[in-house]
Amino acid sequence: MDVEKARALARYRDISLEATAFRLRAVRMALGVTQKDMAEALDLPTSTYADYERARVYPSHAAVSHFRWRHDITFDFILYGDPRHLPLEAAERIYNAMLELDAQPDRPARG
């Protein structure tokens, strides 16, 4: 995986709700769980977790911490799109999920 390509796809340094939601959804997909499963793991209503992925609100500190401590997904990746400190296997799964999401026709254009 090319780090520069991964950064571009992850919208490196873009801290917008949309970019954060995109990365969060890619992480969840890479983990192979549903929104409902993730919400349960975070002890949140499914609608609240879905709001994170729909770019309605930023994920809570507790949610981002869950990804860091349970799945080794860094704050830097979720919040800033920096894949450099992700474990290699996780980075590859997330990259593939981002490619899949980016290819969806209903996804808003980056930029």
pLDDT tens-digit map of 62-99? 999 999 999 999 999 999 999 989 999 999 999 999 99
Handedness of CA 31, 64, 55, 90 (dihedral sign): negative
- What percent of the chain clears pLDDT 90, i.e. is strictly above it? 79
Structure tokens at 88: 């290699």
Q: Is the pLDDT of residue 109 over 50?
A: no
Q: What is the pLDDT of residues 24-68, one digit of tens each?
A: 999 999 999 999 999 999 999 999 999 999 999 999 999 999 999
Angle at 26 between CA 34 and CA 78, to 5 degrees: 115
Q: Which residues contact 39 (CB under 8 A, 6 or more apart)?
A: 45, 46, 48, 49, 50
Structure tokens at 57: 């609100």
